[in-house]
Structures are given as C-alpha cells and as structure tokens.
Structure 1
Amino acid sequence: MDVELARTFLEIMSAGSFLEAAERLHVTQTAVTARINSLEAKLDCKLFIRNRSGAKLTADGERFVDYATSLVQVWDRAQIEMKLPSGVETRLCVGGETSLWTPLLVNWVLWAQNNIENIALHTEVADPENLIEKLRTSSLDAIIVHRPNYYSGFVVEQLMEEKLIHVRSVNNPTPDLFVDWGPDFRDQFDAVLPQPRQTTYSFNFGPLALQVMLQRGGNGYFRTRVVKQYLERGVLERVPGAPEFTHPVYLVYRQGEMTEGLQKALQGLRLLADEDAHWFL
C-alpha cells in the first residue's frame, strides 16, 4: 500500500479536518480527498465522518490508527537504513530512560564504538512509555528501562538488581526528601513505612533531589550505585534500620529480530551491567 495514503490518514486525524491536513501536506484538498477515497476502497471500509466541524474517525478509523502509524514509522526507518554512511553496513538504534543514560547508556555507546565494526549507532533518551512504543513500532532495536511492558513478541531480560536505600546527609539529615521512583516503589513504600509520603519537598527526578541533599542536607531514598561514592567518602550515611526496595533494570528487545550487530551489542551491555562503575545521577 502507498505509504503516503497512511501518512495522509494520520495527518487528517491530527489536524481534525481535510482542509488543515492539505495545508500541512502542501497539497490540495482535492488530492487529500482522493487519497482517502483510495485508502477506503483498498480497506473496504469508511475511515472518517465529515461534517462542518471537520473530520472524525469512525470505529474502523480508530482501529486503523496503529497500523497506519506502524507503516509510516517502518517506512521512515527503512529510508534511514538505506542512507547509511559509506563503509557502514547496518544501523543500530537503542534507547534508555532518563535515569539510565549515565553511566549505562554512555558506556554502552562507547563499548559499541570500540567493539562493533561498520555500524551506525543511534541512541535516544526518553520516558519508558515513549521508548516501549518506539520499540513496538520498530523505531528502536533495544531499550533499557526500570519498568518494562510485556507485549507479545517482546523479550524482557533483567539486566541488574538495583536497590533504593534510605540515606541522609551526615552534616544535616533534614528535611525529608521524597523521590517518586514510580508505581512499584510507591506500592512498596506505602506497604512498609507507616509515615505518609507527602513531604514538604517531593521530586519526580532523582538527580535533582540528590543535588539538593548534597548541597543543603536532607534524607531520602536513592539508588545504591549512585550514592555509593558519597557513602564511601562519608558525605552521606545509611539510615539505620530503614528498609530497602528493589529497583531492577531491564533490557527489552523484539523476539526473533536479532541481527549480528544487535546480538553483539546486547552481549556488550550484559558485560557492562556486571561492572562496578560509578553512577553519577
């Protein structure tokens, strides 16, 4: 099927009207209408309901959104693959969520540069939901996240068993700093600790909370690999008797789509996960 038909369909859905879609695509409204008529004929169903307010998806149109999105993304990926630099045989696209970009994703890229020949490497840092969607639509080959989604066709492999531990500033152990490490952490926290997690200072980004604690004092839950260096230097200390919580890291990739370059890259990542590197964020 012509990819431009799917792209036009998605543009109408986004714009909310045939006219606005035509302006975005720099074609006439007649051309947009002709494309949708052709698409509906190929699919043997009606995709849009048109009225004075614009265009609205039908039930069949709603069902077609995922297919159209996948088709366009795969085509865009194919175009990128066909434009590889001279001497490069393949492209590898990997992603990691924000809290994992250093050192894990950084070290992974450096390892690939030194150990995989004739490969172009693309990396992305984003939230887990974005990464999982891009993996599902083949925009990424592999991702590292804390909370995977077990889609059919995904291989989910635990890379490391990270923990969240309660630490405090040696010089000034207050105030309480609550870092939201995600749904799993919140469930564990609420089940074990009697005190509420509503504090004066709360964060959804661990590195920000850590810098506040290092500069002004406080206490909170942080990843063991990140605070290890500060514990060793005596800047921070563990809170006696405080429980610790699991915060594992997972590698996720699609089943059955294992190129030689990807296979070698995943082997390298597993080696790096076993190393005792300093985590700075």
Structure 2
Amino acid sequence: MDVELARTFLEIMNAGSFLEASERMHVTQTTVTARISSLESKLGVTLFVRNRSGARLTADGQRFVDYATSLVQTWDRAKAELKLPSGLETRLCIGGENSLWTPVMVNWVLWIQHHLPSVALHTEVSDAEKLIDKLEKSVLDAIIVHRPNYYSSFVVEQLLEEKLIHVQSVENPQPNLFVDWGAEFRAQYDAALPQPRGSYSFGLGPLALQVMLQRGGNGYFRTRVVKPYLERGLLERVPEAPEFTYPIYLVYRKGEMSSSLEQVLEGVRKLAGEDAGWLI
C-alpha cells in the first residue's frame, strides 16, 4: 500500500540512510530500496540522492515530506478509529497550549467525559506552533491557543479576554517570580517594566502559583485562577501594577464536521462563559 511507501520514505529521511532505515523497520535494505524505487516511479520524481555518507532529500523529496507525513498520520488515525472499544462511536483529538493545560484543558476534558461518553478522546499539550501544524495536517480536530495563525483553512474564535494581573503573597511578597506566558507577554512586560525579570523564572504558571502560595513571592497570573486566593486574603494585587491582555482562542478547520465535534466545540464555548468552570 502507498502508505507503507510513504512511511518508508519518512524513515529514511529521519535515519539518514537506507541501511539505518531498514534496521529500524526490521526489513532488508533490498526491501527499502524497492519501496523507494516504486514510490519514485509512481510520483515520477527522484526523492533521494544516495552517496557514501547516506541519503539526502532532493528538492522534490523535500516537497513530498508534508504529503507523506499527512498520509501516514491520516492512515494511522483511520486504523485507530476502526479499533474503537465497544460502546464508543468516534474519536476526537484536541490540543491546548502548555499554559492552558490547567484549568482550561482539564475542564474541557471533564466536560466531554460527562456530556459525550460515546466519544474516545485524545489530548495533546504542546507549544502553539506544533499544535497549529497538527491541526493543519488533520492530526488534531480543534485546539486552544493564545496566538493563533489566521490560515484561510482555519476558523478562529476568541473564547475570552483573559488578563494577567500582578499579585503577591500577603505574608511574604518576595521574591519576584517571572512566569513566561509567551512571546507577546514578554514583549508587553519588557516594554512596561524595564527592569530585571527576577531570579526565579517559570515556564508553567500553576507551578509558580504553588510556589508563591507555599513560600511567598509575587508575579503575573491569570485573573480567573488567582481570584479565589484574592477573595480568601492569601494574595493581594500589587498597587498600580500594569495589566496585560491574554486572550484565549479556539481554532478548528473550516468545512463540514461531525456532530460530536460540533458538541465538543460548543462545550468549550460554554465553559468560557462560566467563571466558576475555569477554576480548580
């Protein structure tokens, strides 16, 4: 099947040689060579240049990478769909940016689990660039990110206009805890606060929040997440500190969609309108 030819092509590209690819795939080098010859014949182009150091892609080979990747991923997903356990009707794949895994992704998954028990669900948490690439290749059905790409094939909806506010521990407001909320936040922060970011830097907001709650400190956090701690008097706003916008977007592909995906999208829209639903 052509899928196996595409898979072999990708394996050679990653391995750098026909021999290494054959060892990884547990087939003979002759088989690998025959598959690529067949693929090149079907496409009418040369995909690899072979030399003593291995194999490198031709210009046509580089252009074929995205097609081969999409073909293999679509086939793998089709096989997964056909192997759904009894009682499940379909499989959906959703993704969220790293800083959104909690509470946003958690609550989205819980909503799907409660309202759509017949859906098998796969989730991914990664950076926005990788999620957008997988959405474009149909590996994911929908994603939530802070900075979407407005491709013509995408539908982009703003779920909510979140804010990042400067808060501190009431008991111990030091040290400074810099949470990296992404490139746009860094640019806004550095422009508004031309000062060192602090000795503690975090790539994950929930981790920084727990450190601040247990040992003290100050930093920028999402309003919906720190709201209960402000109300309980554990945290307080830093006076006269600037606020930064931090919108969350829902992104999915244009065109017809299954009824299950429509319900999943509607579910995250409902959660976006319920403050309590975003808090853990």
Q: Which residue of 1 aligns with 2:255?
A: 256
Q: In 2, are the aligned partners of 1:95 and 1:142 still within 8 Å (CA)?
A: yes
Contact (CA 8 Å) 1:229, 1:278: kept in 2 or not? no
| Equivalent in the alignment of 1:152 | 152
SS at match of 2:195: coil
Q: Which amino acid aligns with 2:231?
A: E
Tell me which residue corresponds to 2:48: 48
Question: What are the residue-to-residue correspondences of 1:1-281 with 2, within 5 Å?
Answer: 2-116=2-116, 118-197=118-197, 199-277=198-276, 279=278
Deviation, structure 1 residue 196: 3.5
Deviations 1:12-38 (A, max 9, x none): 000000001011111111111111111
The AA in structure 2 aligned to 1:243 is P
CA distance in 2, matches of 1:205, 1:109: 20
- Tell me, yes or no, if the aligned pair for 1:226 and 1:278 is still in contact at 8 Å: no
Q: Which one is further off, 173-182 or 121-130?
A: 121-130
Which SS does the other structure have where 1:50 is aligned? strand
Partner secondary structure for residue 195 of structure 1 = coil
1:278 offset after TM fit, Å?
6.3
Q: Match of 1:44, as an amino acid?
A: G
Whether contact under 8 Å (2:165, 2:244) holds in the other structure is yes
Over residues 61-95 of structure 1, what are the superposed CA-to-partner deviations in whole Å (9 max), with x where a residue is unaligned?
11111111011001111111111222332212112
| One-letter amino acid of the structure 2 residue matched with residue 191 of structure 1 | A
* Identity score, percent: 75
Query: Aligned pair count?
Result: 280
87 and 178 in structure 1: CA distance in 2 versus 1, 3 angstrom threshold: closer
Unpaired runs of 5+ residues, structure 2, are none
Amino acid at match of 2:258: T
Cα contact 2:46–2:58 (8 A) shared by 1 = yes
* Contact 1:225–1:278 (8 Å) recurs in 2: no
Distance in 2, Cα, partners of 1:174 & 1:116 = 45
Distance 1:117 1:233 in 2: 36
8 Å contact 1:91–1:119 — kept in the other structure? Answer: yes
**One-letter amino acid matched to 1:97:** E
Structure 1 runs not aligned, ≥5 long? none
Q: Is the 8 A contact 1:167 1:222 kept in 2?
A: yes
1:248 match: secondary structure:
strand
